[in-house]
A and B are shown apart, each in its own frame.
Chain A
Amino acid sequence: MNKYTISALVSNKSGVLTRVAALFARRGYNIESLSVCKTENEALSRMTIVLNGDDYILGQMMKQMDKLIDVKKIKRVEDDAVSRELILIKVRTDAATRSQILEISQIFRAKVVDVSPEATILELTGKPMKLDGFVTMLMPYGVMELARTGVTSISRGKQTIQDETDYKEKI
């Protein structure tokens, strides 16, 4: 099993997320994360999908997605692309552990966004692996809850997703 990241520009309409999610479910693809956001063009949203699978599944998923009328551009994100994820994590804190938690936060360059007598909320942006490491370090103190955004990615250099040709334009 490999991990692949795919970016797609899709119509900013209701139902599009359902369409994409339904496609994964029907074809039996296993996705690790999916994030959707607005773009500079208000008619389009951008999806970033992290997929577990092999080359066959990657190929099928990209082609099947590309066929959807609402998917305008699709691109496999290169391994060296800039990929980031954001985490908010609430850690159980008391007077004895606060300084240790803050020390870990500093090592990871996380931000403290909320402090209360019994809990601290930390915010960290980075590659998913870095976030995993951060969570591992905080586990012993008691992770009360956490929320991750899922990965969002963008290619390096002047190449953009706009350079891709939509399948529907090819035929």
Chain B
Amino acid sequence: MKKNGAEILIECLKEQGVKTVFGYPGGTVLDIYDALYRDGNIEHVITSHEQGAAHAADGWARVTGKTGVVIATSGPGATNLVTGIATAYMDSIPVVAITGNVGANFLGRDSFQEIDIFGITLPITKHNYIVKDVNDLAGVVREAFAIANSGRKGPVLIDILKNVQSDVADYQPQTPVAVRRKPVPPQNVEAAAKAIAAAERPLIVVGGGVIASEAAKEARALAERLDAPVASTLMGLGAFPASHRLFAGMMGMHGTATSAKLCLESDCIIALGTRFSDRVALNRDKFAVNKTVVQIEIDDAEIDKNVNVTHSVLGDIKEALTTLIPMLPEVKDRAFAQTLQTYRAAEKANAKPLELGHKVLIEAAKLAPEDTIVVTDVGQHQMWTAQYYPVEKPRTFCSSGGLGTMGYALGASIGAAMASGKHVIMVTGDGCFNMNLNELSTAVTHDLPITILLMNNHALGMVRQWQKLFYGNRFSQTDVRKRTDYVRFAESFGAAGFAIEKEEDIVPVLTKALAMNTPAVVDCRISNDENVLPMIKPGQTYDTIITDWEARK
């Protein structure tokens, strides 16, 4: 049947099962918005700014595993997506970004709102397209979805010229082929299985890849079969239940002391879907000396990229573990699992008194409805959330890990709430919140159950902490004394506003805020001088972990 490009795009989105898209209209996507309007089957969420829409598509994808979709117009609309696309790229999140561009007649003439978004997004997309012929459109859209959500996932951008949207072509519906997972043959894991079986003190590290490949069940089965401790990267949180007896907590720069010790003492690291980033390996040359390292990874380029491994298995983690687990001996009462209990108990016993912000997070976790999704921004509050908010299930924790995008959380919370229908606890700081707080209006418009815990220290806490550590307490531009009244701000946007000033406020305020099924901002007025501990300095080894600020070298 004959359809114009915009209609073909909408049909192709429906083929992919897309029910909600995020975006912002504009001159070069008028045809697309007209087709959306006439079709009426796809819900479109308009945000305050395209960046919020891009993060919303990302949040949608993180909680569902399905590809998030964002639409923006050419020029500034497209460039406003860039941070959101890069965020998804660094964390391997499947997103399809659709932008309009000027018509073929105007292309290359520096026309109004013309920008080379194809060129701009080359290094931050898994793949991208510029569609200049309506006959290519359906094929491109289908391929884009297949690429975004297969292998190592990631964002794909489709730039569609304005005339392509109105040009007419033949459209034939197609059912998308299910994402194929290649089984991993036994011979590919044999060497790894032998190495793991020979290990006395194996430590399993779960990364974001475990969540991406829906392999949480298998990761748990592996841990239980081996009776081996499990540490998680930031991106891996939720891949292994925080309450599990074998969980050692997060590892890396602000990981637990327990995970750091276990990592140092382990004779074998089993890395599942993690790329040993500089926030995890820190010193890549010394991270794994004299250890067996088994890396199970879908991206060949990540094998031996940051840390040299002794064994690697290329492939989907779920498939690899399915093949691997039966080849491993069952281990009961491993001494190293006992070591984990000892270290964890010691860490608990030596813990410093909790600060207000920590207590808010701990109570929030207790009071939160089941299956609440936690979304964070970036900085101290992000690390505190990772440390104090126990994440039990995959796809219930969203955070910008690789890019570290301040201002990520509100857009992502909107996407997460819309996708899941679940309550969202968003943890942010006053620095991050100010970057994209415009999206509170979007959350209010859609009556989304988002409780915003604003860790307000009137400072850019993480940068300030580094200034304490490395720049002699010269707090250049990090004591930001904004006079914003966040309670009244929330109310003016149509959300509820609360404040927590002292410990006694925590439970009553959180109870009230969480009982609302609509947006609420909780201004948690915390000290400006708190630190995130433990901490390992960048480039250092795990034995240099700082657990006591005063005693630091």
A binds B: yes
The interface of chain A, by Cβ under 8 A from chain B, is: 15, 18-19, 22-23, 26, 56, 59-60, 63-64, 66-69, 167-168, 170-171
**Which B residues touch A59, using CB under 8 A?**
304
What is the bound-complex CA distance between A59 and B303, given in angstroms? 10
**0 or 1 for each of B128-151: is its CB under 8 Å from A? (1 = yes):** 001000000000000000010001
Closest 8 CB pairs of A and B: A63-B301, A69-B127, A63-B300, A22-B122, A64-B301, A26-B123, A171-B151, A167-B300
Least CB distance from A51 to B in Å reads: 15
Say whether B122 contacts A18, CB under 8 Å: yes
B189 located at the interface, meaning its Cβ lies under 8 Å from any Cβ of chain A in the complex: no
What is the bound-complex CA distance between A64 and B299, given in angstroms? 9
**Which B residues touch A60, using CB under 8 A?**
301, 305
What is the bound-complex CA distance between A59 and B123, given in angstroms? 19
> Given A59-B304, A64-B301, are A170 and B127 neighbors across the interface (CB < 8 Å)?
no
Say whether A18 contacts B301, CB under 8 Å: no
**Which B residues touch A18, using CB under 8 A?**
119, 122
Say whether B182 contacts A69, CB under 8 Å: no
What is the bound-complex CA distance between A111 and B272, given in angstroms? 59
B199 located at the interface, meaning its Cβ lies under 8 Å from any Cβ of chain A in the complex: no
**0 or 1 for each of B102-124: is its CB under 8 Å from A? (1 = yes):** 00000000000000001100110
Say whether B299 contacts A67, CB under 8 Å: yes
**Which A residues touch B304, using CB under 8 A?**
56, 59
Most buried by B among A18, A26, A63: A63
The interface of chain B, by Cβ under 8 A from chain A, is: 118-119, 122-123, 126-127, 130, 147, 151-152, 182, 298-301, 303-305, 314-316
Least CB distance from B29 to A in Å reads: 22
Say whether B147 contacts A66, CB under 8 Å: no
Say whether B301 contacts A67, CB under 8 Å: yes
What is the bound-complex CA distance between A170 and B185, given in angstroms? 11
Say whether A171 contacts B301, CB under 8 Å: no
- Other than A19-B122, A60-B305, A69-B147, give 17 A-B pairs with Cβ distance below 8 A: A15-B118, A18-B122, A22-B123, A56-B304, A63-B300, A63-B303, A67-B152, A67-B299, A67-B300, A67-B301, A167-B300, A170-B300, A170-B314, A171-B151, A171-B182, A171-B314, A171-B315
**Which A residues touch B118, using CB under 8 A?**
15
What is the bound-complex CA distance between A26 and B130, given in angstroms? 21
What is the bound-complex CA distance between A65 and B151, given in angstroms? 15
Which residue of the partner chain A has the closest CB to B303? A63
User: Can you give 29 A-B contacts (C-beta < 8 A)?
Assistant: A15-B130, A18-B122, A19-B122, A22-B122, A22-B123, A23-B123, A56-B304, A59-B304, A60-B301, A60-B305, A64-B301, A66-B300, A67-B152, A67-B299, A67-B300, A68-B127, A69-B126, A69-B127, A69-B147, A167-B300, A168-B151, A170-B182, A170-B300, A170-B315, A171-B151, A171-B182, A171-B298, A171-B314, A171-B316
What is the bound-complex CA distance between A15 and B122, given in angstroms? 9
**Which A residues touch B182, using CB under 8 A?**
170-171
What is the bound-complex CA distance between A68 and B126, given in angstroms? 8
Least CB distance from A115 to B in Å reads: 42
Least CB distance from A75 to B in Å reads: 15
Least CB distance from B53 to A in Å reads: 25
**Which B residues touch A171, using CB under 8 A?**
151, 182, 298, 314-316
Which residue of the partner chain B has the closest CB to A23? B123
Which residue of the partner chain A has the closest CB to B188? A170
Least CB distance from A145 to B in Å reads: 31
Least CB distance from A71 to B in Å reads: 11
Least CB distance from B342 to A in Å reads: 39
Which residue of the partner chain B has the closest CB to A70? B127
Least CB distance from B183 to A in Å reads: 11
Least CB distance from A67 to B in Å reads: 6
What is the bound-complex CA distance between A170 and B151, given in angstroms? 10
What is the bound-complex CA distance between A15 and B305, given in angstroms? 27
Least CB distance from A101 to B in Å reads: 45
Least CB distance from A14 to B in Å reads: 9
What is the bound-complex CA distance between A63 and B314, given in angstroms? 12
Least CB distance from A33 to B in Å reads: 22
Most buried by B among A18, A170, A171: A171
